[in-house]
């Protein structure tokens, strides 16, 4: 009976980790999307922002100086994609409020998901940010920003 309950839990945990990719290496992320083209930008210090753009979403993976993903941001490019991500968060994560979710993982601790609206004079769009509070604290201790 215990194994019967454990299998769905492991599948859900793997699904959630696959979405945000926190704790994965840059090489693992690139290998997972071998048919896609990435671009990257150096950030402060030895950090890097890895970017993948598809028809429906722009994915940003913040890679620390150890080559590990410490934060993921998704910018849905269509309203349908935004709706899909919100429905997915509501279905698979613990809802804190209408713009914040949490998930408990075995390898990355608590993952926080935040939905934010970015506005400027030309446009406005939503960003979903995924980060592990523990990994983010370690990243900051190591000199990240």
Q: What is the pLDDT of residues 12-51, one digit of tens each?
A: 333 333 467 898 999 999 999 888 899 999 988 788 999 9
Query: In this predicted structure, what is the pLDDT of residue 143?
Result: 65
Query: In this predicted structure, what is the pLDDT of residue 61?
Result: 96
Tokens of 93: 């994560």
Query: In this predicted structure, what is the pLDDT of residue 135?
Result: 66
- 59: pLDDT strictly greater than 90: yes
DSSP 42-62: E-STT-EEEEEE-SSEEEEEE
Tokens of 65: 């100086």
Which pTM was predicted? 0.78
Query: In this predicted structure, what is the pLDDT of residue 44?
Result: 81
């Amino acid at each position: 009976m215990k194994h019967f309950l454990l299998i769905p839990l492991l599948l859900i945990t793997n699904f959630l980790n696959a979405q945000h990719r926190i704790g994965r290496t840059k090489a693992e992320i690139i290998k997972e999307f071998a048919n896609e083209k990435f671009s990257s930008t150096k950030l402060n210090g030895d950090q890097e922002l890895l970017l993948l753009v598809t028809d429906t979403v722009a994915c940003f993976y913040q890679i620390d100086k150890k080559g590990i993903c410490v934060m993921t941001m998704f910018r849905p490019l269509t309203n349908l994609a935004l709706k899909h991500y919100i429905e997915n968060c509501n279905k698979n994560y613990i809802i804190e409020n209408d713009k914040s979710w949490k998930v408990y993982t075995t390898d990355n601790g608590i993952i926080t998901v935040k939905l934010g609206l970015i506005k400027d004079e030309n446009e406005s769009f939503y960003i979903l940010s995924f980060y592990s509070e523990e990994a983010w604290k370690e990243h900051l201790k190591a000199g990240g920003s």
